[in-house]
Amino acid sequence: MKKIIFTAMAALLLVGCGGKKNALTTPAIDTFDYTVEQFADMQILRYRVPDVEKLSLRQQEMLYYLNEAALQGRDIMFDQNCKYNLPIRQVLEAIYTDENQDKTSADFMALEIYLKRVWVSNGIHHHYAGDKFTPEFSQVFFENAVRKLPNEKLPNEKLPLNGGTVDDLLATLVPVIFDPNILPKRTNQAAGVDLLQTSACNYYDGVTQLEAENFYAKMKNPNDAEPISYGLNSKLVKRNGVVQEDVYKIGGLYSEALEKVVYWLEKAKNVAENDQQRAVIEKLIEFNRTGNLRTFDEYAILWVADTTSTIDFINGFTETYGDPLGMKASWESLVNFKNEEATKRTTIISNNAQWFEDNSPVDKEFKKEEVKGVTAKVITAAILAGDCYPTTPIGINLPNANWIRVAHGSKSVTIENITEAYDQAAIGNGFLEEFAWSQNEIALMDAYKSQTDNLHTDLHECLGHGSGKLLPGVDPDALKAYRAVIEETRADLFGLYFVADPKMVELGLLPNDSAYKAQYYSYFMNGLMTQLTRVELGKNIEQSHMRNRQLITKWVYHKSQTDGDRAVEIRERDGKQFVVINDYKLLQKHLGELLAEIQRIKSTGDYKAAQNIVETYAVKVDLDLHKEILERYAKLNIAPYKGFVNPVYTAQFDKKGNFSGLQIDYTEGYAEQHLRYSRDYSPLTK
C-alpha cells in the first residue's frame, strides 16, 4: 500500500463537531494520493469527497445513516452473482487472516491476489468480462488450509453446502473454484445457447430460458399503460416441477440484509431534508417490506420528483445487466450530494431537452412530442456499495421503466469526484503517447478530453436514455438479451452526435468548435482498439458497455469504408496500428445515421435487427489486432480496470445521544476495508 503523502492529521476531516464547523477542509487535489495499490488487472484508487464540510449538521447525519444503509446490502450482491460466492469469500478470508499460515509462500500470495479479485468482482467471476477466475494457488494448499481452520471460521448452515463437515465443504467448493468447466461464465450472452443454463448468476435455479420467458410473458398485459417490471426483485426457481418466484423482501429472500437496510433508512427518514424526500424513503421502506413491484413504481415516481434535496441516493434492486435476460436487478447503492457549481452545466442541458429531442437525427415518429421531467445534476459520491463498489459507473440515469420516463421524467447524474480520481491517477502513464496517432491528437486530448468526457456523460445520461419513445404496443422487453446493448448504444450515440453540434459552444458548454474532437478521437481509439486490453486474448466481447462501444465504432468504420469517404481509418506505422480520423464532421454524420437506426430498432422492438447488428459489429474481435494491443499495453504497466476504496465515516454523538458531527478518514487500506465490511456488514453469513 502506498503511503498517503499528506499527514495523518490532514487526512482526517472533521466536520460539524459540537455543531461548529472545523477549520479542516477537504484535502486538495495536489496533496491527495489517489492510488492505493495495484494487482492483477486492477488498480485501486481513492476518491475525495469535496465540500462535505459545507453540509449542515442535519445533512451530515442523514448522509451517515444512508451510508450505513448502503453497506448493509453487500452480501446480496455477492449471492446474486453466484450462489457459492459467500461461502468462498468466507473461507478465503479465514485463510487470509489465519496466523498459522506462511504468508511468504507462493501459494499464500497467490491466494491473496485471488481474494482481492473476488472482492473487486463481488464474487469469483470477473466484474467486467464475467469469466471465472483461475486460481494460481494449488488445490492441495487450499484443502490443507481449510482443514486447519477452526470450525467457527467455516461457513454456517445458512450457506449452500452439501453437509456439515469439512469434507462436505471441500466437496462443494473445490470443484467450483478449480474446475474451469463448472460455472465458467457469470452472465452468458453468447448466441445459440440457453442463457440461463450456461450462466453462473444466481437469479434462476433449475429454470430454462424458455421457461423463464414463458413465465413472465404470461404475467404481462400488453394493453397496460403502466407495465410492471416483472421479475425485477426476485429469484425464479423450479420446485417439484413448478416454476415460482422467491421475492426479495423482509420475510422473504435476503430478509436479514433488508431488515438492516430498513433499520438505517428509518433513521434517515427522521432527518430528511424535506417532506418529498421523507416520502421517498418511506415508500422505499414499504417496498422492502412488501416486495410489491407496483410500490416500487410509486417509489420511483416519488424519487424522480425530488429535485430540490441536496443529498440523494440509490438503494436497492436497480440495474439488470447481470441477468442474461435483462429482467432481474442487482443490489446497489450510491449515496451522494449535489455539486452545486458543476450542476450549472447539466442544468443548461436539461433546460434545453426539448431542443435536443426536436433536432435529433431520428425519424419523427420515434421522437417524443413533449419531453417531461428531465433533470440532471453533477454529484459528489459519498459512498459506493453493492453493484457500484468497488468499481462504479461515472454516470447514472434512472428510473429504468420506460413508461415512468415518458410520464414523469428521469434523473441523471454525472459523478465528478470519481472522474476526477480517474483523471488524476492517469497523469503521466504514457497511454496516449503509445496509442494516439500523433502529437496533435495528444494535445487535443490533453486540453479537452476531461471536459468532453464529462459532457458526453451528461448528454448520455440526461438526454440519451430519456430520448425517443416506444411505439404503441411495443413490449419494453422485446429486444430480450440485446436490450441492454442497444440501450447503451442509443444513449452513447445521442451524446456523441450532439457533443459535436455548434449548440455546445452556443450554450457555453464547450469553449470552441474543435474541442469535441477530443471526445471523438478518444472514443474511437477506445472502441476500435484500446478497450481490447480488457478482453482475454482469443475471447469475444461479452460486457454490454464494451459491446456498445465496439458496435458504434466498427459500424461507423465500415460505413466510412463502404461509402468511400474514409472519415475514420486504421493506419499502420512502424509496425503498429493507429486510429486516424480524417473528417470529424463526416464522422458525426455517420453517428447520426446509426443513431436513427438504433432508435428505430428500440422504438419498434425489432429483435431480429438488434440481434443482427450486435452479432455483426459488437461481439467478434480481430485476433491479430487484439494481440498487438495487448503487447503494447503490457509494456506500460497500466492496470486496465480501476476500483475504489471508500472513505470511512464515523458519527459522533453527545451525552444525550444526539448526533454532533462526522469524521471522515481516507487512510483505510483495500484489504483492511473488505475485511471490516465482512465483519460488520455481512447479515447473510452471520
The tens digit of pLDDT for each residue in 424-448 reads 999 899 999 999 999 999 999 999 9
Flag whether 531 is in a domain. Answer: yes
Place of cell 469434507: 167
Question: Are residues 276 and 299 in contact, defined by beta-carbon separation less than 8 angstroms?
Answer: no
Between CA 558 and CA 641 the distance in angstroms is: 28
Report which of residues 222 and 135 the model is more confident about.
135
Q: Residue 421: pLDDT above 70?
A: yes
Cα of 266 vs its chain's centroid, Å = 26
Q: Residue 61: pLDDT above 50?
A: yes
Q: Residue 27: pLDDT above 70?
A: yes
Which pLDDT score is estimated for 151?
A: 83
Q: Residue 605: pLDDT above 90?
A: yes
Which pLDDT score is estimated for 458?
A: 93
Which pLDDT score is estimated for 45?
A: 98
Structure pTM?
0.87
In this prediction, residue 16 has a pLDDT band, given cuts at 50, 70 and 90, of very low
Q: Which of 301-305, 382-386, 540-544 has the lowest mean pLDDT?
A: 540-544
Report which of residues 336 and 160 the model is more confident about.
336
Between CA 38 and CA 202 the distance in angstroms is: 29
Q: What angle do CA 67, 426, 572 make, to 5 degrees?
A: 135
- Bridge partners for 661 per DSSP: 652
Q: Which of 676, 666, 663 is nearest to 646 (CA)?
A: 666
Strands 331-338 and 311-317: antiparallel
Please state, in angstroms and as integers, the Cα–Cα distance from residue 567 to each residue in 133, 516, 588, following that order.
40, 16, 10
pLDDT in tens, 480-527: 999 999 999 999 999 999 999 999 999 999 999 999 999 999 999 999
CB atoms within 10 A of CB 213: 17
Flag whether 25 is in a domain. Answer: no
CB atoms within 10 A of CB 146: 19
The mean per-residue pLDDT over the stretch 73-81 comes to 98
Q: Which of 379, 366, 363 is nearest to 461 (CA)?
A: 379
What are 28's three cell numbers? Answer: 486538495
Which pLDDT score is estimated for 112?
A: 98
The residue from 151, 178, 205 where one domain ends is 178
Which pLDDT score is estimated for 203?
A: 98
Report which of residues 458 and 23 the model is more confident about.
458
Q: Residue 683: pLDDT above 70?
A: yes
The mean per-residue pLDDT over the stretch 319-328 comes to 96
Flag whether 100 is in a domain. Answer: yes
Flag whether 521 is in a domain. Answer: yes
Q: Residue 155: pLDDT above 90?
A: no
Flag whether 114 is in a domain. Answer: yes
Flag whether 200 is in a domain. Answer: no
pLDDT in tens, 645-678: 999 999 999 999 999 999 999 999 999 999 999 9
Peptide bond preceding 390: is omega within 30 degrees of 0, i.e. cis? Answer: yes
Q: Which of 159-168, 172-181, 617-626 has the lowest mean pLDDT?
A: 159-168
The residue from 178, 202, 224 where one domain ends is 178
Which pLDDT score is estimated for 156?
A: 67
Between CA 595 and CA 682 the distance in angstroms is: 44
The mean per-residue pLDDT over the stretch 141-147 comes to 97
How many separate domains does the chain show? 2
Would you call 8 helix, strand, or coil by DSSP? Answer: helix
Q: Average model confidence (pLDDT) for the chain?
A: 93
In this prediction, residue 1 has a pLDDT band, given cuts at 50, 70 and 90, of very low
CB-based contacts of 112, cutoff 8 Å, min separation 6: 96
Between CA 387 and CA 321 the distance in angstroms is: 10
Flag whether 51 is in a domain. Answer: no
Which pLDDT score is estimated for 372?
A: 83
The domain of 115 spans 83-178
Would you call 132 helix, strand, or coil by DSSP? Answer: strand
The mean per-residue pLDDT over the stretch 374-380 comes to 91
Which pLDDT score is estimated for 374?
A: 80
The residue from 150, 178, 206 where one domain ends is 178
Q: Residue 97: pLDDT above 90?
A: yes
Which pLDDT score is estimated for 154?
A: 87
Peptide bond preceding 399: is omega within 30 degrees of 0, i.e. cis? Answer: yes
**CB-based burial label for 436 (10 Å; 0-12, 13-18, 19+):** buried
- Bridge partners for 411 per DSSP: 375, 398
Flag whether 327 is in a domain. Answer: no
pLDDT in tens, 441-479: 999 999 999 999 999 999 999 899 989 999 999 999 899
